[in-house]
Amino acid sequence: MIDRIIQFSIKNKAIIGLFTLVLVLYGGYSLTQLPIDAVPDITNNQVQVITTTPTLAAQEVEQFVSAPIERAMASLPDLVEIRSISRFGLSIVTIVFEEDVDVYFARTLV
């Protein structure tokens, strides 16, 4: 099979050259149509709510700050998941949305 392809290529140099030229031109055209970004954004659509409460312990931060925010955000449309971290005096709630949701719309919802 390979021998037949090689024999055809040797006998029909003009056709092979034409096919090669067409492939090079198509590759050049495709290269100009590629969207190029310096640093592509591969993160998901997410909004973070960061709250500081300097006088509360981690359990109190979870009980009085993180859990109410999570409950309030649970009914948002196009919601994927809600994650939270509660530390001494700090609550970070991350709300992840579907990929097709606009970031500014997600921030407005939150």
Say yes or no: 28 and 77 in one domain.
Answer: no
Say yes or no: 55 and 102 in one domain.
Answer: yes
Say yes or no: 10 and 59 in one domain.
Answer: no
* Structural domain harbouring 53: 46-109
Say yes or no: 102 and 50 in one domain.
Answer: yes
Q: Please write the tens of the pLDDT for every residue from 50-69.
A: 999 999 999 999 999 999 99
Q: Please write the tens of the pLDDT for every residue from 17-62.
A: 999 999 999 999 999 988 877 777 778 889 999 999 999 999 999 9
Question: Both tokens of residue 100?
Answer: 């097709």
Q: Where are the alpha helices (DSSP H) in the chain?
A: 2-11, 13-33, 58-61, 67-73, 103-109
In a domain? residue 41:
no
Domain with 80 in it: what CATH number? 3.30.70.1430
Say yes or no: 53 and 24 in one domain.
Answer: no
pTM of the model: 0.62
Q: How far is it, in rounded angstroms, from Cα 68 to Cα 97?
A: 19
Look at residue 29 in the predicted model and tell me its pLDDT: 95
Domain tally, the chain: 2
